[in-house]
Each structure stands twice: as C-alpha cells, then as structure tokens.
C-alpha cells in the first residue's frame, strides 16, 4: 500500500488534518532511514521484555513528556509560528496547555485506569469472581496531522504510553519546523527503547504502514484514512481514524444572535480556520440572517481589527498549495466581507460568503480554511434536513434559546460531537470522548478514552474449587435439566 501527494485535500481533518496523500497502485518507495525497516519488530521485542508494563515507567514517561513541553515551550511556539503563523497565546492554549492538561489527567488516574475492574458473575458460574483486566495492545503507530501538530501527536502518544505500549510517533512533514523540534526533543526526554519519532513524508509513512502494528491511530483526512485502513487490514490491525467533514452551525430564530456570531467567529477563525471541528458552514433562520451577518462582521473587527493581516492574533495558511485551493473556493458564493489574500505571507482574510452555490466545491468538500458560507433556511426542520442529507459531520453546533429546538436537533441529527450555544469547546471536557461517526471517523479519545484506545480489557473469570456441584456435569437427567433451566 503506497501513498502519494494529492494536489488538493478533499477533506482535511481532526482538530486537524494532514497533507493528503492518496492511494495509488505503485510499489512503496524505498526509504533510506535505517530505523524504519523492521521498526515494529524491534519495538515488539522491547515490549515483550516487559519494559513498558510497570506503572512507574509509564508515569516517568508522562512526567518527561510534560517536562519537555515546559522546558521548550518557546521552541514549540516559535515552530508553530513558522509553520502556521500561530499567535503565541493561541499556540500555547491549543498545542501546549491542552496536552499538559491531558497528561496531568492521565498521571492523576494512572493507577485507577489500569486497575482490574470487578464485574458480576452469573449464577451458573458460581462460585466465581469476574473482572476486566486492562492490558496494553503492544506496539502502536500514531500518525499526526499538521494543523495542531503538537497536540494531535502527543495526546494519543501519551495515552499509548499510559496504557503500557511501545509507540512510534509520525509527525506531519507539512508542519516541518514543529516536526523537527519534536524529532530532536523526543529522544532526549523519552525512553528511545520504546518511544520512537520518525520524520518524513510519503515514502516513510508508506514504509511504516507496511509493517505489522497492534494499533494504528491516524488523524487526518478521509482519503488517507482509507489508505491507512487498507494497510491495517493486511495485518488485521485495529485502527482509530480521526477524520473530518463539514461541521454545520445551526442558528435558530430564538438564538442570542450576537453571542452566536462571536462564538461562531471564534471557532471558525481559530488557526485561520484550519481546524477539523471548525464551523464549516452556517444554516441561519431567515428572520435573524441579517443580524447574524452584521454581528459576524463586528466580531471579526473586535477580534482582529480593521485589517486582520496586521493582527498578531490571526494565523496563516500552512502552504502555498493550500492557499491556492482555498482561493479557488471563493467562486462558490458572493463575498460579503473578507476575501483578501497575500501570497508572501500565505494570508487569507476571515471571509463570509452568501448566495452560496450548493453544488460548488465550497459546499462539496471540507473547507479547512477561513471561508464561512452562510445559508438561509426557513425553519429548523429545513436545517435538520440539510444536515441529514449529507455525511455525518465530526461536530455540530446549534444556537437556540428554545430548548425544544435544541432537543429536536439533537434527536434528529447525527454527529461525532455537539456543542450547544458554542463551538469546539466540547473537546475540552476530558469526560466527553472525541471522535467521528461514519465518514468523519471511527473510534474516540480524550481523557480516559485516550488510554482505553490502546488497551484490551481482558475478561477473566476465576472459579473456586472448594465446591464442584455435580449438576454442571453429564449425565443430564430430567431433574438436572429442570434445575439448570432455573439458573441459566
């Protein structure tokens, strides 16, 4: 199974997306890095040695990962600014603080989350005790995207370590500066006998996917997600696919329109729109459409000033290729405001489009940039129908003060996750698993679920030998059959 660069991503992803290679029928490209050949087998030998099993080892690795982020915060923020023009505050909140919070949660509950969990035993097994015993899967591969290149590599990696696995980390080559920092620092802080970071592009990823892993965790777009799934199928390897999709924001007539506009604006233009759970388009009730558009424009002015290009709070597009792709989408509607771009800075202004062509690429593919189409609907039912006629999104946002409307949207739409009267923030609660459904992905993580992804809950039933009732054995007399029917 090989990968190749695709000139334009069809559906970038979670909170992220990788540069989308696409499936080909060519043979994998030879890889010069001698560390890649047989890497999974070498780490499997480490895993079988028992190195990663003790909780003390896992705790130490989590502590070291945390220390790496704290010690080198400025280096990471500089790299994020180089790759994506990320404002330092935004980079810290989304790529540093988020990871620190997840690490702290795992460290706090490490013993509890790895403790056997007692369950009941049916009468027919008595006397017996039953439990679920968490055990690591073995050797796992984490492939990360470019848009949140620290968060989306290290959070799954931390979960894999907390679960007791050996792990290979593959950062995105598109965010090259951040990838270089990660590749240099990870072996300095983490145990390189069990935790390995591999830089590279399509050839390296292809070579990694050709090996047998015990789990593959991929964040990116659906095109590459299918390549990963096919490669994993060769070894019957389970996968977690954190993909993307067109996440809608529904604004009802009962909504607090000013607050809705500000929260949509924040979620949309965070990281210059390069977020897999960013509002991809808005469905607004006709009665509040004009007010919403006015408040969206006011929010952009409040957040980024009269000229967002000069704002130190607004990011940049990751590459010239992605900038060209986004500019090509502008023809799918009428620009209400924004639309300006600058090749030298890979800048594209926060943009709202109206009079949108429903059949245009703007509405056919995940935008993954700072363009926001606003479509008018006559009722909440129209909005629900519009969403239901498309692939299930990774996230859905509903703005309404009428609880009946909220309940109606929740009951009649399917999405990976939902925020009511807000955007994106459902991801920040470690008690809520994050993941997609259908085209937007499979599997979920965050908090305890990040550890569970990389574990097998081994069912164990232990019977006592003090009592050995004969009813359980042949010959099956009528009396035995009657008694067994009562207990089975």
Q: Which residue is catalytic, options 90, 204, 242, 365?
A: 242
Count Cβ atoms below 10 Å from residue 247 Cβ, excluding itself: 29
The whole-angstrom separation of Cα 117 and Cα 92 is: 36
HSE of 235, CA atoms in CB hemisphere, 13 A? 18
Assess if residue 488 is contained within a domain. Answer: no
17 φ, ψ (degrees, to nearest 5) = -165, 145
* Domain of residue 44, residue span: 2-244+443-456
The whole-angstrom separation of Cα 335 and Cα 201 is: 36
Angle value at C-alpha 367, between 366 and 371, nearest 5 degrees: 150
Specify the pTM: 0.91
Domain count for the chain, please give it.
2
Regarding whether 211 and 331 lie in a shared domain, the answer is: no
Q: Could you report the per-residue pLDDT of 290-323, keeping only the tens digit for each?
A: 999 999 999 999 999 999 999 999 999 999 999 9
pLDDT(112) > 70: yes
The whole-angstrom separation of Cα 62 and Cα 159 is: 9
Lowest mean pLDDT among 202-211, 242-251, 312-321, 466-475: 466-475
Lowest mean pLDDT among 167-181, 253-267, 465-479: 465-479
Regarding whether 290 and 217 lie in a shared domain, the answer is: no
Question: For residue 335, what are the β-bridge partners?
Answer: 353
CATH value at residue 66: 3.40.605.10
276 is catalytic: yes
3-state secondary structure of 255: coil
Q: Which residue is catalytic, options 90, 105, 197, 276?
A: 276
The whole-angstrom separation of Cα 61 and Cα 415 is: 34
Mean pLDDT of 429-448: 95
Count Cβ atoms below 10 Å from residue 119 Cβ, excluding itself: 12
Question: For residue 391, what are the β-bridge partners?
Answer: none
The whole-angstrom separation of Cα 189 and Cα 185 is: 6
197 is catalytic: no
Assess if residue 469 is contained within a domain. Answer: no
Regarding whether 155 and 207 lie in a shared domain, the answer is: yes
Assess if residue 285 is contained within a domain. Answer: yes
Give yes or no for a contact between 170 and 140, defined as CB atoms under 8 angstroms apart.
Answer: no
CATH value at residue 367: 3.40.309.10
């Amino acid at each position: 199974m090989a990968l190749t660069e695709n000139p334009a991503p069809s559906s970038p992803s979670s909170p992220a997306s990788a540069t989308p290679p696409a499936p080909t029928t060519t043979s994998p490209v030879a890889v010069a890095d001698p560390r890649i050949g047989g890497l999974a087998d070498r780490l499997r030998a480490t895993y079988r040695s028992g190195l990663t099993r003790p909780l003390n080892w896992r705790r130490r690795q989590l502590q070291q990962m945390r220390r790496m982020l704290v010690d080198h915060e400025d280096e990471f923020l500089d790299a994020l600014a180089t790759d994506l023009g990320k404002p330092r505050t935004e980079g810290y909140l989304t790529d540093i603080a988020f990871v620190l919070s997840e690490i702290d949660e795992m460290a706090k509950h490490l013993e509890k989350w790895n403790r056997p969990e007692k369950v009941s035993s049916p009468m027919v097994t008595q006397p017996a005790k039953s439990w679920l015993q968490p055990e690591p899967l073995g050797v796992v591969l984490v492939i990360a995207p470019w848009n949140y290149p620290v968060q989306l590599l290290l959070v799954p990696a931390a979960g894999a370590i907390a679960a007791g696995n050996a792990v290979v980390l593959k950062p995105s080559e598109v965010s090259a500066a951040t990838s270089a920092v990660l590749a240099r620092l990870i072996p300095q802080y983490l145990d390189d006998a069990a935790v390995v970071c591999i830089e590279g592009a399509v050839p390296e990823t292809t070579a990694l996917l050709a090996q047998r892993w015990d789990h593959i965790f991929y964040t990116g777009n659906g095109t590459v997600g299918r390549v990963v799934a096919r490669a994993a199928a060769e070894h019957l390897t389970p996968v977690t696919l954190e993909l993307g999709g067109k996440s809608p924001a529904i604004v009802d007539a009962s909504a607090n329109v000013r607050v809705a506009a500000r929260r949509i604006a924040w979620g949309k233009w965070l990281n210059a729109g390069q977020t897999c759970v960013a509002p991809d388009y808005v469905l607004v009730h006709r009665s509040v459409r004009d007010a919403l558009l006015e408040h969206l424009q006011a929010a952009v002015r409040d957040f980024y000033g009269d000229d967002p290009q000069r704002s130190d709070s607004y990011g940049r597009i990751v590459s010239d290729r992605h900038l060209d792709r986004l500019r090509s989408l502008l023809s799918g509607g009428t620009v209400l405001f924004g639309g300006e771009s600058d090749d030298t800075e890979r800048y594209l202004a926060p943009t709202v489009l109206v009079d949108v062509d429903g059949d245009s690429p703007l509405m056919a593919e995940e935008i993954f940039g700072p363009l926001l189409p606003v479509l008018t609907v006559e009722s909440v039912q129209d909005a629900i129908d519009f969403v239901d006629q498309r692939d299930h999104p990774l996230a859905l946002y509903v703005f309404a003060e009428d609880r009946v409307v909220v309940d109606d949207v929740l009951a009649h739409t399917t999405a990976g996750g939902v925020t009511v009267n807000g955007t994106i923030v459902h991801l920040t609660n470690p008690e809520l698993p994050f993941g997609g459904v259908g085209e937007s992905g499979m599997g979920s993580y965050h908090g305890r679920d990040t550890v569970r992804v990389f574990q097998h809950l081994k069912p164990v039933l232990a019977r006592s030998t003090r009592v050995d009732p004969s009813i359980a054995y042949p010959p099956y007399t009528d009396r035995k059959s009657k008694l067994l029917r009562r207990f089975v």
